[in-house]
C-alpha cells in the first residue's frame, strides 16, 4: 500500500511551496491508486517540536488550507506527542554506539567551519566529541557545559534512485554527523522524521529539493534502525520574483490567494504542471488531475512561479466549473444559488466566484437603468416588437432582426442601448443568453424604463 505524508511545521501560514508539496504527494498517491486500484494512505504530520515557534493558529490554518485544497488525510500525528518514542530510539542508538556526545558551543563550531573554509576544506564536523575521554567529558560538564548528540554517519556512498532527480549519491565522509539532540534536550527535525516515517509505514517521501542532502543522512538512519527505505522524490523548489520561495515570504500565503478569489483547483492545475513540459489542463477535481499526473515528468530546473499565472488561469478554471460545483461554492460564501440558465449566460464573463453575485443581483433585482431620451424611445419601440412565446437562445436574433428592419438602427446603435437598458452595464454576458434569464416581464419593464 502506498503511504505518503505531508509534514508541515506549524510555525507560519502555508505558502505556495507548502501547498505544492502537499498537492504533489496527494496527486502522486491518487495517480498510483488509479493505476493499481489499491487504496493509499495520506498522513498529515505536524512537525511541531519547536514549541516556541509552533502556534495553534498556524496548525488550524494548515487544516483549513488542506480542506480548501480538497486533500483529506487518513491519519494525523503530532511530533510533540511522540517525544518519548524519540527518546527510546535515541537510547537504543546510544547503546549501540551510533550516537556520541559533543560539547562545542555554536560559536566554537562556527570558528571551526571558518578555519576549514580558509584552508579550502569542506566544513565537515571533525568528530572531536568522539575523541573525548570520560574524564574530559566530566570536566566539561563540571564547567557547566551540557552535551548535544550527533549521529555517526558511515563513511560510505549512500545512493537512491530519486523519482525526480534520478540516481543520487552522497559520500558520508563529506557530510557532518547530524546533531540529533540539542543541548537543551530537544530534537531537531532529522531523526524524529525518520522514526515517524518508519513507524507510520511511509512508502514514498516527496518533498522539496532543499532536503536532498538530508535524504542521504536519513537513509543511513533508516538503515541503522533496520527500517525499509522509502522511495524519495525531490522536485526542484519554485523560484519567484522574490527568489526562492520560503516560509518567510508571507506575500504568497494561501489565505491571501484565497481571499483574492483564487480557486483551489487553479492552484492545483498550475502546480501539477509547473516544472514539467506538460501543458496545464483545466480539471474539475484532484481525481481528474491525477489522471494526467506523473512525478517523473518533473525536470531538474527550478520552475518560475508567478502569481499572475494563477490570476490568468483562474477564469478558465471558474468558467469550466459545473453548476453543482459553483452552487456549492456560492453556498459556502452565503450567496444565493444560481440556475443552469443563469450559469450558461454569465460564466464566460466571470473571473472569480465573487463576480457571480454582482450578475445575480443585476439579473434578479427590480432595478431599472437610466438611458438618454433617444435611446429610451428606441427601447420602448423595441419592447413592442418582442416575439411572442417563451424566450430562448434564439429569441434575441429573431427579435433584433425585426427591430433593425423597423427602426433602421444597426450594430452598436442597435445593441448598446438594449444592453444598457437590460443590465445597466457597458459590457457583460451575451444578450442572447441573458434574455431567457431575465424573462419577458423584466425585459419589457427594463426596456420601457
Ligand atoms: N517539517 C519539514 C519541512 O517542512 C518536513 C520535511 C520533510 O518532508 O521531511 O521542511
Confidence check: pLDDT of 73 > 90? yes
Inform me whether the pLDDT recorded for 93 exceeds 50: yes
Tell me what the pLDDT averaged over the chain comes to: 95
**Which residue owns the Cα nearest ligand 1 atom 3?**
8
Q: In whole angstroms, give the CA distance from residue 36 to residue 322.
A: 28
Alpha carbon separation from 385 to 4, 113, 261, 375, 431 (Å, rounded): 65, 88, 41, 15, 16
Does ligand 1 come within 6 angstroms of the Cβ of 193?
Answer: yes
> Is the separation of the CB atoms in 438 and 430 below 8 Å?
no
Assess whether pLDDT exceeds 90 at residue 339.
Answer: yes
Residue 306 confidence (pLDDT): 86
Give the contacts of 10 (CB within 8 A, at least 6 positions apart): 46, 47, 48, 54, 55, 56, 58, 59, 61, 62
Q: What is the pTM of this model?
A: 0.90
> Is the beta carbon of 10 within 6 A of some atom in ligand 1?
no
In sign, the C-alpha dihedral spanning 32, 199, 94, 123 is: positive
Q: What percent of the chain has pLDDT over 90?
A: 92
The answer to whether the CB of 8 is under 6 A from ligand 1 is yes
Q: What is the pLDDT at residue 252?
A: 63
| pLDDT score recorded for residue 15 | 85
Q: In what side-by-side order are the strands of the sheet with 99-102? A: 99-102, 148-151, 179-181
Q: What is the whole-number distance in angstroms between the Cα of residue 260 and the centre of ligand 1?
A: 28
Q: What is the mean pLDDT of residues 299-320?
A: 93
| pLDDT value at 144 more than 60 | yes
Q: How far is the CA of 152 from the centre of ligand 1 (A)?
A: 22
Q: Which atom of ligand 1 is nearest to the CA of 6?
A: 8
Q: Is residue 249 over pLDDT 70?
A: no
Q: How confident is the model at residue 247 (pLDDT cuts 50, 70, 90)?
A: very low
* Ligand 1 centre distance from Cα of residue 39 (Å): 24
Residue nearest to atom 5 of ligand 1 (CA): 7
> Which of 6, 8, 79 is the pocket-test mutation for ligand 1 (most atoms within 8 Å of CB)?
8
pLDDT of residue 245: 52
Q: Say if ligand 1 is within 6 A of residue 192 CB.
A: no
Is the CB–ligand 1 distance for residue 48 below 6 Å?
no
Rounded to whole angstroms, the Cα distance separating 159 from 390 reads 72
pLDDT of 248 reads 43
Quote the pLDDT of residue 240.
78
* pLDDT at residue number 250: 42
Q: Which atom of ligand 1 is nearest to the CA of 205?
A: 8
Q: Model confidence over 26-49: pLDDT tens digits?
A: 999 999 999 999 999 999 999 999
Ligand 1 touching residue 211 (CB < 6 A): yes
Q: How far apart are the first and last CA of the chain?
A: 67
Q: Give the pLDDT band of residue 1 (cuts 50, 70, 90).
A: very high
**What is the number of the ligand 1 atom nearest to the C-alpha of 214?**
9
Amino acid at each position: 500500500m502506498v503511504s505518503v505524508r505531508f509534514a508541515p511545521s506549524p510555525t507560519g501560514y502555508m505558502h505556495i511551496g507548502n501547498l505544492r508539496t502537499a498537492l504533489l504527494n496527494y496527486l502522486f498517491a491518487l495517480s498510483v491508486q488509479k493505476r493499481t486500484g489499491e487504496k493509499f494512505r495520506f498522513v498529515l504530520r505536524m512537525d511541531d517540536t519547536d514549541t516556541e515557534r509552533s502556534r495553534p493558529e498556524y496548525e488550524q490554518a494548515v487544516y483549513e488550507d488542506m480542506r480548501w485544497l480538497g486533500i483529506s488525510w487518513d491519519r494525523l500525528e503530532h511530533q510533540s506527542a511522540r517525544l518519548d518514542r524519540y527518546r527510546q530510539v535515541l537510547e537504543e542508538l546510544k547503546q549501540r554506539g551510533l550516537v556520541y556526545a559533543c560539547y562545542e558551543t555554536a560559536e566554537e563550531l562556527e570558528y571551526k567551519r571558518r578555519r576549514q573554509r580558509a584552508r579550502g576544506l569542506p566544513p565537515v564536523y571533525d568528530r572531536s566529541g568522539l575523541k573525548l575521554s570520560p574524564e574530559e567529558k566530566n570536566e566539561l560538564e563540571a564547567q557547566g557545559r551540557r552535551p548535544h548528540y550527533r549521529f555517526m554517519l558511515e563513511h560510505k556512498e549512500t545512493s537512491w534512485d530519486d523519482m525526480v532527480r534520478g540516481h543520487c549519491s552522497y559520500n558520508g565522509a563529506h557530510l557532518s554527523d547530524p546533531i540529533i539532540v540539542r543541548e537543551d534536550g530537544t530534537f531537531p527535525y532529522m531523526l524524529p522524521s525518520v522514526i515517524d516515517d518508519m513507524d507510520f509505514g511511509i512508502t514514498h517521501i516527496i518533498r522539496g529539493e532543499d532536503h536532498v542532502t538530508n535524504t542521504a543522512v536519513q537513509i543511513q538512519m533508516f538503515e541503522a534502525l533496520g527500517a525499509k527505505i522509502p522511495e524519495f522524490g525531490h522536485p526542484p523548489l519554485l523560484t519567484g520574483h522574490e527568489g526562492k520561495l520560503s516560509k518567510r515570504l508571507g506575500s504568497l500565503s494561501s489565505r491571501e490567494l484565497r481571499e483574492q478569489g483564487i480557486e483551489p483547483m487553479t492552484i492545483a492545475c498550475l502546480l501539477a504542471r509547473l516544472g514539467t513540459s506538460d501543458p496545464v489542463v483545466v480539471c474539475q477535481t484532484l481525481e481528474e488531475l491525477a489522471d494526467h499526473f506523473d512525478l517523473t515528468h518533473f525536470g531538474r530546473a527550478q520552475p518560475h512561479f508567478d502569481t499572475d499565472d494563477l490570476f490568468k488561469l483562474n477564469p478558465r478554471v471558474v468558467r469550466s466549473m459545473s453548476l453543482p460545483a459553483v452552487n456549492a461554492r456560492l453556498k459556502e460564501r452565503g450567496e444565493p444559488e444560481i440556475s443552469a440558465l443563469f450559469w450558461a449566460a454569465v460564466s464566460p464573463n466571470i473571473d472569480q466566484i465573487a463576480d457571480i453575485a454582482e450578475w445575480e443581483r443585476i439579473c434578479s433585482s427590480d432595478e431599472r437603468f437610466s438611458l438618454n431620451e433617444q435611446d429610451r424611445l428606441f427601447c420602448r419601440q423595441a419592447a413592442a416588437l418582442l416575439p411572442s412565446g417563451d424566450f430562448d437562445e434564439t429569441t434575441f436574433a429573431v427579435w433584433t432582426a425585426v427591430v433593425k428592419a423597423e427602426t433602421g438602427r444597426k450594430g452598436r446603435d442597435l445593441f448598446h442601448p438594449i444592453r444598457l437598458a437590460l443590465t445597466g452595464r457597458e459590457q457583460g454576458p451575451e444578450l442572447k443568453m441573458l434574455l431567457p434569464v431575465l424573462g419577458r416581464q423584466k425585459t419589457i419593464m427594463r426596456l420601457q424604463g
